[in-house]
Amino acid sequence: MTSLVDHHQVEKLLVLVAAIRSGLVDALAGDSPRSAEEVAADVEGDLRACRVMLEALMSLDVAEKVPGGYRLTALGRTHLLEPPPGAPLPAELERASLLHQERKFRGWLDLPYIIRHGRPPERDPGERDLRSFVRTMAEGDPPAMDEVVESCLAYAALGGGAVRRMIDVGGAVGHMARRFAERGVEATLLDRPEVLPEARIYLGDWAQRIRLVGGDFRESLPPGPFDLAYLGNIYHIYGPARNAALTARVHDALAPGGVIAIRDYVWERSPRAPLFAVNMLQATEEGGVWREADYRGWLESAGFADIEVLDLAKSPNQLVLGRKKPVLAGKGT
Ligand SMILES: C[S@@+](CC[C@H](N)C(=O)[O-])C[C@H]1O[C@@H](n2cnc3c(N)ncnc32)[C@H](O)[C@@H]1O
């Protein structure tokens, strides 16, 4: 019989998250192996529980037993250990995203309540794990991020404009802003003030070369003018009225000919859209997955032209592109 759900994957996620949160993973990170007793002392934990967890981690191939005790395997290291600040993240790293998935699924347990009431229940803000949330974004697939950068620059070049200054709106820790900066673009990152310390840690030396601005993009954007505004995974957080207002604000912040680039799931184009919409039910008050016609409407009303919606080849979402109309020579004379 084939089952609908692979329960083993759920167990695997919960064991790995428990091992990260309790400190077991970090206790095994050193070069010398640690006995079960030493690990239990390191994490101030129960010896029997630690033994069971260590065996479970071995069965998942992230830990191994060698003379002298337990240690992480190479697989465990690349997937679970954070590199030092500023160092590039290995493509396989999924430490923050595992933590984020577990928090997310806690929210999904509220779905029966949400179905009845139409909104998530009051939650303790202390339950939020800001660090793993914003770092999860940086753990995205590098080729997928590169495809987005290439597509934005190619679209801008088609309009004849070089991208000298860009803004990453809701840019989290700066993983995309950094990619643009590596291409010689002067990058500004806007996110909530409490996210910026995480961005500084993630960016290391790059934090000196990227302008980090704390603020609320529902109220204002840093003064431009920018040649490119990138908005990745932002529009699904808010409802249509806020998205329309944000699009108009972006239009104001762009130079004539400047480009807006929105990366998100688009209904009927992304196979992930229906389940992602469920995630927005639990994570937001008014967010969702929007249709191509919604994006086109917001961009057209704001004054953008040459609107295109691309299906990205390396990720299951779309890139919505538009251009602020250039000022025509002689206009207004
Ligand atoms: C889903 S993450 C997307 C991160 C990144 N753009 C990406 O695509 O990987 C949303 C980001 O927007 C930020 N954000 C959400 N609402 C915001 C607001 N009103 N003002 C500023 N930043 C906001 C969050 O703090 C978070 O870093």
Q: Give the C-alpha separation, 28 to 60, whole Å.
A: 15
User: What SS3 class is residue 160?
Assistant: coil
Q: What are the structure tokens assigned to 170, written together?
A: 């809701």
DSSP-assigned letters across all residues of 163-197: --EEEEET-TTSHHHHHHHHTT-EEEEEE-GGGHH
**Residue 159 and residue 322 in contact, taking contact as beta carbons nearer than 8 Å:** no
The alpha carbon of 249 and the centre of ligand 1 are apart by a number of angstroms equal to 16
Evaluate if residue 21 carries a pLDDT over 90.
yes
Task: Provide the CA 237 distance to its chain's centre, in angstroms.
Answer: 12
128 Cβ closer than 6 Å to some ligand 1 atom? no
How far apart CA 196 and CA 223 sit, in angstroms, is 19
Segment 244-257 shows an average pLDDT of 97
Q: Rounded CA gap, 223 and 168, in Å?
A: 13
Nearest CA to ligand 1 atom 14: 170
3-state secondary structure 257-297: EEEEEEEECECCCCCCHHHHHHHHHHHCCCCCCECHHHHHH
pTM: 0.92
Q: Give residue 127's pLDDT band: very low, low, confident or very high (50, 70, 90).
A: low
Which of 100, 133, 137, 284, when mutated, tests ligand 1's pocket best, judged by the most ligand atoms within 8 Å of its CB? 137
What's the confidence (pLDDT) of residue 242?
A: 98
Nearest residue by C-alpha to atom 20 in ligand 1: 216
Does the CB atom of residue 174 touch ligand 1 within 6 A? no
| For range 125-150, the mean pLDDT | 87
pLDDT at 312: 97
Please give the distance, rounded to the nearest whole angstrom, from the Cα atom of residue 175 to the centre of ligand 1: 12
pLDDT of residue 106: 92
Name which residue sits closest to atom 16 of ligand 1, judged by CA.
170
Name beta bridge partners: 222.
Answer: none
Reported as a single tens digit per residue, the pLDDT across 74-96 is: 999 999 998 887 787 888 999 99
161-201 per-position pLDDT tens digit: 789 999 999 999 999 999 999 999 999 999 999 999 999 99
Q: Residue 74: name the closest of 9, 66, 43 by CA.
A: 66
Secondary structure element (H or E) that encloses residue 70, with its range? strand 69-72
H-run or E-run covering 229: strand 226-232
Tens of pLDDT, residue by residue over 227-250, are: 999 999 999 999 999 999 999 999
Q: Cα(243) to centroid of ligand 1, in Å? A: 13
pLDDT level of residue 328 (50, 70, 90 thresholds): confident
Whole-number Å distance between alpha carbons of 31 and 34? 9
DSSP, collapsed to helix, strand or coil, labels residue 225 as: coil
Confidence bin at 46 (pLDDT 50/70/90): very high
Average pLDDT over residues 7-17: 96
Which pLDDT score is estimated for 84? 81
Residue given tokens 């002298």 in the structure block = 68
- DSSP annotation string for 85-132: TTSPPPTT--HHHHHHHHHHHHHHTTHHHHHHHSSPPP--GGG--HHH
Is residue 71 within 8 Å of 34, Cβ to Cβ? yes
* Test site for ligand 1: of 130, 233, 279, 315, most ligand atoms within 8 A of the Cβ: 233
Domains and CATH numbers, the chain: 7-80 (1.10.10.10), 137-324 (3.40.50.150)
Confidence at residue 138, expressed as pLDDT on a 0 to 100 scale: 87
Which residue's alpha carbon is at the smallest distance from atom 8 of ligand 1? 232
Supply the residue whose CA is at minimum distance from atom 27 of ligand 1.
172
Which atom in ligand 1 lies closest to the alpha carbon of residue 263? 8
Angle at 175 (CA atoms; ends 87, 310), nearest 5 degrees: 140
- pLDDT, the chain, mean: 94
SS3 161: coil
More confident residue, 1 or 320: 320
DSSP 83: P
Residue 333 scores a pLDDT above 60: no
Question: Is any atom of ligand 1 closer than 6 Å to the C-beta of 172?
Answer: yes
193 alpha carbon – ligand 1 mean position (Å): 11
> CA 230, CA 234: separation in Å to the nearest integer?
10
CA of 234 to the centre of ligand 1 (A): 6
